Structure 1
């Protein structure tokens, strides 16, 4: 996926139980504090008032480079290192005692260059920026009526508020209280008032111990770096012009000669198998792949690979579920969501040609016609998919992302996994830009503190070549969170374009997950006897699904049944 054209407003100790008995999702704990890289963070924000004689440590940061100062009020402050956005632990050791706190690092303020290219010295671009004047807050789903109104009134001290209620998944309610779903909760967005500083508001919300506030998060944005034009065949351009394609049902945007992710296919000759046609009863029947993307348009399915019998009614998550309509699900921006759905479940070009597709539109066009995905729409999309398909038959494909993680997104995907859903995410297309981690795929990295490592499948892109038969695509991000790969370069499905990007590698893995589900290879453990064992059983089933899909993707026996196809390498240990 051309992630550089997306604006992804993506941005945890377990919270205290509220009076209602609900608590945040286990394994999706909140941080102790938020701070930007380069900020001087008062250690008091981490609950540490006295640090005299203490040694401070942050993984990956040489202790001698950590700067501690005392401000005018006599408080000790830590200068936050220039770390990538995400969760880190801060450990203070004094007199043999260790105190550990969790810090969510935000990107620096506008103007800070970061993530300098490892392969092109001197190339840099500005990090994804956190919006300085907006905060989103996911509230306890049990808050209703007068209690909810009181909490919202209290939040208005920070600015003006807009609210919505996320769809409660009634299809998937395997986990009983005290563990609650983040879906069904009220999501409030605060437009900060004058004099309200972002980090101070976030940390004030974290200090609330009532249990009403589950996940406060910043909102972030990223834009296409102009510098990319220096190292790629040409800058990406959306194609407003349409061209007729002889012999197909509909039009496609005119190919852009300089496009990196959408290269012209000079001889489109009809759909071609991506990973082979169904063999030995493996076709994905009974499994549904929810494609959270730019929408779906049958006219862009040029060869009719996804008939209406295998496409659930598309959903539009760009507006709150309570807005009363799910219309406006049509695709745009060169049909990104439609292509992803075809690669996952197309009848001829897809990996799971008997699976059902559920298109969920979570990205809309900005003023330039490029895709914009918001935190709210992704949360809505996850909840809508969970409400539409039984968990043990659902695969979520997320060919989107950004460099700033959002705790509420982690919680929603974590809860979905605990229900037995398989989550697949594109690993990122920033191989030429220093390999910054991309979320939500990077939630598959080793867990930090109270934020567990998710079982999702984080996908890198490979192409034929190299001693092992496959090698990384030059654009593909590399990192310790990537755990599976698939072809993602110049994929030919008989369209006027060849498609490249981890966005297009991800649906191949999602299709493999559907084959695993359809074949019953992801059998859950024995029926649990209580709520706790239910949670553990569901989580184990999710992990088993992820392992099964990796084994399936890498299985020589599976691959040998498809002439001309080689197994993709396992990138989990590089």
Structure 2
């Protein structure tokens, strides 16, 4: 008996309506409703018509603070608590029986400060917002031809619809998408018409149980520092304008406002020295690290660490897949994506000097000189990577993040893991601002309802210091989803500037994953992850590679001992 059949039976017993949720990708269930923090949610949106005599519970919220009222139409409404964006469960208990629904909390409307700065308690800043007039809808990949056109026509009742395929054209695609891939379908974007509200349209789409609509989502758009996981790590001195440097191929631009080129008041670190050197036969050959970031420019690879022979044709995910996917891929700002690729796979500074890099541009320059990444572009980027490289030879590096999760991205990453890909994400740089969770890294937190905990590696930043030899970087976000750390402060890769942020810690872990993946160590009988095979037998067999790579990377013989801090890979143990 599946989850929703059981809920329906309980609902009949309690006199409650049945749930609307579906799980198009197993482990990536849809919510039963969307609502903004602070808004009044009609309980019928959760499939609940009457709650007389029932107790309502939301984890982490004292029951006495939950406010339930009856509106003028006689409908019962729940005031959504001021919770961080993401999935929560709403449980009703009556006469010893329980029924649970799943709610996706959206950020409040503009004007509701959510977090206060710990460094200056008198200041607060707004939560990341979602676009108030757009909805993205990931459709069932089985919809084609006339059936697809009919479904798109029904979406037009909510506004103007544009649609795109998430795949490359057949003439360019490297791989055919296996059945069930969320990347094999159509992504529609609805520009809401007059009188349509975001929450109403999202909930109307959730109520469609035809199976045509897989994941309706809001669209969030983040800017740096949040978008690229960058903040200033405490006291620092901005690097001087770039001058010509003898012995290098090019010049980096002068740092801009919000620069991630920092000169913290501490000694620089050479990643290769502090992580140790892996065996010579472990270089990551055969593994590809997809860097979803700001693009790639060889001119910003000052020492030529990534020759063209180890860089796949860069892709552009800022627009729908097509001829434009292969143009406009150059890096911008100050080369964030290029530097991340170097740390992962560079010949001198990278962890996996024999791995291949696949740069995918998912962030664009904004008018104020900062970078902006939309969830739609990130979803495209994940699908382009899966379209280009066999999943069991792929490491996805996402040195980006935002506070609003996207269900379609969870589904795509979940499916990628089930096919054997390893996912690495920057844990966030909000350590000085209340530690709000950052997605997609926070998808590694314990699962909620039908949305499972992903096996991705969520990376914190550490620096030398403390009794164990390492301590958290002050800017690094902390939370129950972080499961590995790496040096991420004042990194020196032979450029005139130093790099700080979880954005730069993440590719060191991605490189370590490529070492394991490229050498096939995750399949060696003697490796410790084989003990996990029984424990994870309930998971799809295709997910074993991602699980075993993680287990091997974090086995006790291959990490540094740091009490209270997530383990850091020690490459000299490989």
Tell me the TM-score normalized by structure 2: 0.86
SS at match of 2:291: strand
Quick one: structure 1 residues 526 and 277, their matched pair in 2 at CA, closer, same or farther if it must change by over 3 Å?
Answer: closer
Query: Are residues 511 and 551 of structure 1, via their aligned partners in 2, closer, same or farther at CA, if it must alter by over 3 Å?
Result: same
Q: Secondary structure at the match of 1:72?
A: coil
Partner of 1:543: 543
Equivalent residue for 2:114?
114
CA offsets, 1:325-365, max 9 Å, x none?
Answer: 41111111111001000000011111011111111111111
| Higher deviation after alignment, 489-498 or 314-323 | 314-323
When residues 248 and 494 of structure 1 are mapped into structure 2, their CA distance, relative to the original with a 3 A threshold, is same
Q: Tell me by how many angstroms 1:21 deviates.
A: 17
3-state DSSP of counterpart to 2:569: coil
> Residues 151 and 536 (structure 1 numbering): CA distance in 2 closer, same or farther, change over 3 Å?
farther
User: Structure 2: which 5+ residue stretches go unaligned?
Assistant: none
The 8 Å contact of residues 295 and 332 in structure 1, kept in 2 or not, is answered as yes
State the Cα distance separating 1:131 from its structure 2 match: 1.5
Q: Kindly tell me: are residues 529 and 567 of structure 1, through their superposed partners in 2, closer, same or farther at Cα, counting changes over 3 Å? A: closer
Deviations 1:492-520 (A, max 9, x none): 00101100000000000000000111221
The answer to which of 553-562 and 223-232 deviates more is 223-232
TM-superposed deviation, 1:568: 2.4
CA gap of 1:169–1:288, structure 2 versus 1, over 3 A, is farther
The Cα of 1:569 is off from its aligned counterpart by: 8.2
Q: Which moved more, 1:468-477 or 1:219-228?
A: 219-228
Distance 1:373 1:567, change over 3 A: closer
Shift of 1:454: 0.5
Aligned mates of 1:306, 1:407 — CA distance in 2: 34
Q: Deviations over 1:25-53 (max 9, x none)?
A: 11111000000000100001000001001
Number of the residue aligned with 1:356: 356
The separation in 1 between residues aligned to 2:6 and 2:127, in whole angstroms, is: 14
8 Å CA contact 1:317–1:381 kept in 2: the answer is: yes
Distance in 1 (alpha carbons) for counterparts of 2:288 and 2:539: 19
Residue 389 of structure 1 deviates from its aligned partner by: 1.0
- Map of 1:269 onto structure 2: 269
- Give unmatched runs, 5+ long, in structure 1: none
For 1:129 and 1:323, the matched residues in 2 are separated by: 31
- CA spacing shift, 1:233–1:518, aligned 2, 3 Å: closer
Q: Which moved more, 1:242-251 or 1:471-480?
A: 242-251
Deviation at residue 96 of structure 1 after TM alignment: 1.2
CA root-mean-square deviation? 7.8
- Deviation beyond 4 Å, 4+ runs, structure 1: 1-23, 168-179, 223-242, 255-261, 264-274, 524-567, 569-574
2:495, 2:374 → 1: CA distance?
29
**Greater Cα shift, 272-281 or 533-542:** 533-542
Deviates more, 1:22-31 or 1:50-59: 22-31
1:292-311 C-alpha deviation (Å, 9 max, x unpaired): 11111111111111111111
Q: Secondary structure of 2:275's partner?
A: coil
1:235 CA drift (Å): 11
Contact (CA 8 Å) 1:273, 1:349: kept in 2 or not? no
265-274 vs 187-196, greater mean Cα deviation: 265-274
**Could you tell me how far 1:180 is from its partner in structure 2?**
0.9
Q: Structure 1 pair 510/444, CA: closer, same or farther in 2 (3 Å)?
A: same
Please report how far the alpha carbon of residue 264 of structure 1 lies from its aligned counterpart in structure 2 after TM superposition: 8.3
1:268 touches 1:496 (CA, 8 Å); kept in 2?
no
Q: State the secondary structure of the residue aligned to 1:12.
A: helix
Contact 1:236 1:260 in 2 (8 A): no
Work out the CA distance in 2 between the residues paired with 1:523 and 1:507: 23
Q: Check whether the contact 1:239–1:256 (CA below 8 A) recurs between aligned residues.
A: no
Q: Deviation per CA, 1:215-270: give whole Å up to 9, x if none.
A: 00011234568999999589999999764322210110124698565338999999
Residues 573 and 66 from structure 1, CA distance in 2 versus in 1: closer, same or farther, beyond 3 angstroms? farther
1:236 and 1:258 in contact (8 A); partners too: no
Assess if the C-alpha contact under 8 Å between 1:175 and 1:531 holds in 2. Answer: no
How far has the Cα of 1:274 moved from its partner? 6.2
**Is 1:11–1:403's contact at 8 Å kept on the other side of the alignment?**
no
Q: Distance in 2 between matches of 1:8 and 1:372?
A: 42
Moved more, 110-119 or 419-428: 110-119
Contact 1:237–1:259 at 8 Å: present in 2 too?
no
**Which residue is 2:512 aligned to?**
512
User: Does the Cα contact within 8 Å between 1:420 and 1:538 map onto a contact in 2?
Assistant: no
Q: For residues 540-569 of structure 1, what are the alpha-carbon distances to aligned partners after superposition, in whole Å with 9 as ceiling and x for unaligned?
A: 667655555555555675579999999728
Aligned to 2:77: 77
Distance verdict in 2 for CA 1:127–1:484, change over 3 Å: same
Maintained 8 Å contact 1:175/1:419: no
Deviation of 1:122 after TM superposition, in Å, equals: 3.2
